[in-house]
Amino acid sequence: MPKVRFEPDGIEIEVPVGTSILEASNKAHAQVGSACGGVCACSTCHVYVKQGLGDLEGASDREEDIMDKAFDVRSNSRLGCQSKIEGEDATIVVAAIAAQAIPLVAQMKVQDSQDAVDAGNGNAALSAAKTAVSVEPWAASTHLQLALVDEQLGDLRTALREARAAVAHDDADWSLWVVRARLETKLGQIPAARQSLKRAAALNPHSPLFASNSSG
């Protein structure tokens, strides 16, 4: 029966053929992320396969697309959710990117994106923002940065989609509602923009931004 060993913890578990690295990690209580639930929609289960790479099912086009936006991709990088074990007597040794490091990595990519915006490099800003979302898709800050970059590049519909995603992850942040309202206004969605501004004002009624509305 195949074995999977997780480093640096040294946790080892036997699993049936056809088990993915992510499934093995869940059984072994190892630290491999799975923000999307293991459906190949993020890169939080990114691992480095230190041994047994050839005993895994090959990467699909979808996995390769996700890995294009992942952080610190190497020749032995795989998504744990997509790496199913094929070798009957395989020993797979993997090193997971620590879950605790994910917010830091995402923050670094957001900062890289902001620096690229300041430098006037829109393509680099967009690439870094997309990587940040891929690393930490549940964070409002990553979606906000991608929304702002898309807005600057003129892709307003994508920007609004990301702004809405940011609000969905933190609907108590009034500034996210303001960004959403601005994009809705630019797209001519005035009733929606009014509702977004109303929500922002309710969350932060003392902001000077809403002073004229409250006094009038």
Band (73; pLDDT cuts 50, 70, 90): confident
Total tally of structural domains belonging to the chain: 2
Contact 23, 34 (CB under 8 A): no
**Same domain as 90, residue 168:** no
Read off the pLDDT of residues 181-201 as tens digits, 9 standing for 90 and up: 999 999 999 999 999 999 999
CATH number for position 12? 3.10.20.30
CA distance 190 to 194: 6
Of 66, 97, 128, the residue that ends a domain is: 97
Instruction: Classify the phi-psi angles of 101: left when phi > 0, otherwise alpha if psi is within -120 to 50, otherwise beta.
Output: alpha
Strands across the sheet containing 77-79: 11-14, 3-7, 91-96, 46-51, 77-79
Domain encompassing residue 33: 3-97
In this predicted structure, the answer to whether residue 95 has a pLDDT above a threshold of 70 is yes
The DSSP secondary-structure symbol of 145 reads H
- Cite the beta strand spans of the chain per DSSP E: 3-7, 11-14, 46-51, 77-79, 91-96
**Same domain as 131, residue 81:** no
CA nearest to 36, candidates 79, 2, 65, 76: 79
Strand partners, 92: 4
CA distance 32 to 206: 43
Read off the pLDDT of residues 141-188 as tens digits, 9 standing for 90 and up: 999 999 999 999 999 999 999 999 999 999 999 999 999 999 999 999
Of 42, 72, 97, the residue that ends a domain is: 97
Cα atoms found within 13 Å of the Cα of residue 216, Cβ hemisphere only: 4
Q: How far is CA 111 from CA 23, 44, 169, 190, in A?
A: 33, 19, 20, 32
Domain assignment present for residue 214? The answer is no
Read off the pLDDT of residues 9-49 as tens digits, 9 standing for 90 and up: 789 999 999 999 999 999 998 878 777 888 898 888 889 99
**Same domain as 111, residue 93:** no
Of 43, 68, 97, the residue that ends a domain is: 97
3-state secondary structure of 151: helix
CATH number for position 125? 1.25.40.10
Contacts of 126 (CB under 8 A, 6+ apart): 113, 146, 149, 150, 153
